[in-house]
Structure 1
Amino acid sequence: MTPNVPLYQPKAALVVFTASGFTAPYIEYYDMDESGSPVNPHPLTVREAQSLSKALDTREQAGKAFLRPEGVLPDTVLHLNPSDNGSVLWYTKPQRQQLYFAESLGLDNGTVALPALVWKATKKELQLFALNGKAKPKIDTPLYHAPFFNLYQKGNVCMGNVNIAIKSAATLEEFITAWQGYFFGSYFSHHINDHNPVGVNLFNLYKELMADPEKPFPTDTLKTTPLTLKNLL
Structure 2
Amino acid sequence: MNIKPISSNALAEQFIQTNVYSESTLESVLAYVIHTNGSGSRSCVTQHKINDGNLGLGNVVSLKKLSETIASIERKSVNSLSKPIDMFIDANVIAQSSSLLAWHVPRNKKTLFFSESSITVTLPPLLYVYRPAMDNSAASLSVFALAANKRPTRTSKLYHAPLMNVYESGKVCLGTMSLPQQITDRTMDLVMSEFFGSRFTHANNTEVLRKHSNLMGFYSEKERKNERIMTSDLMPTGLTVSSIV
Question: Does the TM-score normalized on the shorter chain lie above 0.5?
Answer: yes
**CA distance in structure 2 between the partners assigned to 1:150 and 1:138 by the alignment:** 26
**CA distance in structure 2 between the partners assigned to 1:63 and 1:153 by the alignment:** 31
Give 5+ residue unaligned stretches, structure 1: 13-30, 32-43, 48-57
Query: SS where residue 140 of structure 1 aligns?
Result: coil
Report the AA paired with residue 151 of structure 2.
K
Question: Does 2:131 correspond to 1:122?
Answer: yes
Equivalent residue runs for 1:11-50 within 5 Å: 45-47=54-56
Pick aligned residue for 1:147 from 151, 162, 169: 162
Equivalent residue runs for 1:66-145 within 5 Å: 66-68=81-83, 69=85, 71-80=87-96, 82-83=97-98, 86-103=99-116, 108-123=117-132, 124-145=139-160
Q: 1:79 to 1:67 in 2, by over 3 A?
A: same
Query: SS where residue 187 of structure 1 aligns?
Result: coil
Cα deviation, residue 93, structure 1:
0.4
Comparing both chains, which one has the higher relative contact order based on Cα–Cα distances under 8 Å and sequence gaps of 6 or more?
A: 1
Please, what TM-score do these two structures have when normalized by structure 1? 0.67
Runs of 4 or more above 6 Å deviation: none
CA contact (8 A) 2:207 2:235 kept: no
- Post-superposition Cα deviations, 1:179-227, rounded to whole Å, max 9, x if no partner, equal 11121111111122x5241122311121133335x53223321111110
Report the AA paired with residue 190 of structure 1.
H
Cα deviation, residue 72, structure 1:
3.0
Please, what TM-score do these two structures have when normalized by structure 2? 0.64
Report the AA paired with residue 191 of structure 2.
W
**CA distance in structure 2 between the partners assigned to 1:160 and 1:148 by the alignment:** 15
Number of equivalent positions: 185
Give 5+ residue unaligned stretches, structure 2: 1-8, 22-26, 28-51, 57-72, 133-138
Higher helix share: 2
Q: RMSD value over aligned CA atoms?
A: 3.2
- Post-superposition Cα deviations, 1:84-117, rounded to whole Å, max 9, x if no partner, equal xx111211100111211123xxxx2132110000
Report the AA paired with residue 76 of structure 1.
N
Instruction: Tell me the equivalent position of 2:208.
Output: 197
CA contact (8 A) 1:117 1:130 kept: yes
